[in-house]
């Protein structure tokens, strides 16, 4: 029985948080030490999750800030569109501030866990309740409790009572001399969940922001190019010790058009111990295969070699390629959402899962609608 109680706090995790600690006087020094190590492992996992969220929040803020900067330079945009982008930037700043705060909380809890692990048995027994409390706080931040459904139940019961009153008696009631007073308990009506209205499943399209919008003085044709936006990033576990919080591959996409001619531009930032050996280069006419969620695919080809260059500021190895888009390719990109992209490096091909599956569709719409 004691052994079961010992493993319960770490393995039986409910939505509300960690299970309560067993009485400390019922646990041996070995069990106390094992619990401390288990909670420390839990804190490490949560801290890494908060670090990843902070990295994403910073990247999101950078993208939206760049969008706002470009939008302010675009004289064709109105005040309403600028205000909409400004709202996105404010929201991104708020998310980053929250991510920084959460990451600091996790770092503080990990400091306590490291201190407790390295202490003697008496200190571990003394600090275990505090460590449990801090771990539980972090756990509930990552796994918030599900919303309660009492309001639904209460409403259904009240509706059933009303229906019974309406149909139970066959004779009309005598009018009352005094007006009825309102029920002190307010009836809460909750809107039924509709997945189609869930912005997490169906995020709203970002405002159309053009990095370039100029007219050629000789031909009279307008050249448009969208701002580069992140398409995907990868975090291979094998490189985590080397990369830390950085992604291994970060890909941004932009689309450009002159008249009816269009091209897709991909920018790859590679963080790798030896990028030339791991990836090589992108050769002219290299195949870039786009796989869509409907199971279909479309093959594009690069127009030039890209050897890759080192960005001294970010220490990323950067490749840039241009992919001409036919009318058929444009129609496909506007109609379908992305699933994966296969890039043919000189060292071999690699498949990447796309996170922003609607990006190219939105960029094509931005250019031609």
DSSP state string for 295-320: S-EEEEE-SS-B--EEETTTTEEEEE
Domain 201-368 sits in CATH at 2.60.40
Looking at residue 222, what DSSP letter applies? E
HSE at residue 255, side-chain half, CA atoms within 13 A, is 23
Say what the pLDDT of residue 67 is: 79
DSSP 142-211: HSPPPPP-HHHHHHHHHHHHHHHHHHH--SPPPPPSSPPPPPSSPPP-PPPP-GGG-TTTSPPPPP--EE
Say what the pLDDT of residue 13 is: 43
**What are the residue boundaries of the structural domains of the chain, listed by start?**
2-142, 201-368
Q: How confident is the model at residue 11 (pLDDT cuts 50, 70, 90)?
A: very low
Say what the pLDDT of residue 128 is: 87
Least Cα distance to 362 among 334, 339, 341 occurs for 334
* Average pLDDT taken over every residue of the chain: 81
With residue 60 as reference, give the H or E element that holds it. helix 29-73
Q: What is the mean pLDDT of the segment spanning 9-33?
A: 71
**pLDDT of 10 over the 50 cut:** no
**pLDDT of 15 over the 50 cut:** no
d(CA 39, CA 21): 12
Say what the pLDDT of residue 25 is: 85
d(CA 330, CA 233): 24
Convert the pLDDT of each residue in 133-190 to its tens digit. 898 888 888 877 666 555 444 555 555 665 555 555 555 555 555 555 555 555 556 6
Q: Tokens 């690699």 identify what position?
A: 350
User: pTM above the 0.75 mark?
Assistant: no
Convert the pLDDT of each residue in 63-86 to its tens digit. 888 878 887 877 766 677 777 788
**pLDDT of 7 over the 50 cut:** no
**Range with the poorest average pLDDT among 52-56, 207-211, 302-306:** 207-211
d(CA 198, CA 45): 28
Q: Tokens representing 55?
A: 């990295």
Q: Tokens representing 212?
A: 């370039």
């Amino acid at each position: 029985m004691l052994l079961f109680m010992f493993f319960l706090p770490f393995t039986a995790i409910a939505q509300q948080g960690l299970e309560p600690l067993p009485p400390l006087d019922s646990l041996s020094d070995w069990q106390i030490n094992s619990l401390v190590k288990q909670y420390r492992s839990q804190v490490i996992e949560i801290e890494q999750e908060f670090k990843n969220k902070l990295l994403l929040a910073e990247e999101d803020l950078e993208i939206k800030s760049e969008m706002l900067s470009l939008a302010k330079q675009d004289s064709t945009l109105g005040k309403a569109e600028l205000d909409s982008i400004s709202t996105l930037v404010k929201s991104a700043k708020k998310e980053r501030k929250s991510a920084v705060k959460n990451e600091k909380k996790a770092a503080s809890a990990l400091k306590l866990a490291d201190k407790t692990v390295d202490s003697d048995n008496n200190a571990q027994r003394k600090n275990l309740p505090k460590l449990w409390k801090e771990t539980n706080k972090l756990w509930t931040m990552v796994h918030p409790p599900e919303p309660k459904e009492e309001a639904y139940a209460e409403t259904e019961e009240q509706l059933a009572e009303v229906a019974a009153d309406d149909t139970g008696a066959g004779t009309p009631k005598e009018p009352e001399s005094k007006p009825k007073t309102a029920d002190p308990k307010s009836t809460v009506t909750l809107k039924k969940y509709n997945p189609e209205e869930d912005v997490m499943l169906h995020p709203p399209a970002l405002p159309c922001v053009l990095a370039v919008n100029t007219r050629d003085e000789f031909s009279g044709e307008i050249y448009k190019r969208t701002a580069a936006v992140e398409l995907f990033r990868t975090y291979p576990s094998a490189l985590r010790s080397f990369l830390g919080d950085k992604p291994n591959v970060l890909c941004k996409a932009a689309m450009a058009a002159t008249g009816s001619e269009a091209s897709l531009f991909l920018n790859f930032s590679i963080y790798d111990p030896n990028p030339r050996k791991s990836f090589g280069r992108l050769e002219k006419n290299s195949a870039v295969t786009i796989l869509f969620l409907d199971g279909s695919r479309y093959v594009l080809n690069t127009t030039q070699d890209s050897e890759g260059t080192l960005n001294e500021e970010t220490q990323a190895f950067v490749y840039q390629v241009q992919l001409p888009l036919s009318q058929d390719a444009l129609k496909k990109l506007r109609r379908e959402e992305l699933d994966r992209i296969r890039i043919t490096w000189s060292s071999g091909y690699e498949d990447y899962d796309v996170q922003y599956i609607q990006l190219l569709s939105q960029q094509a719409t931005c250019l031609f609608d």
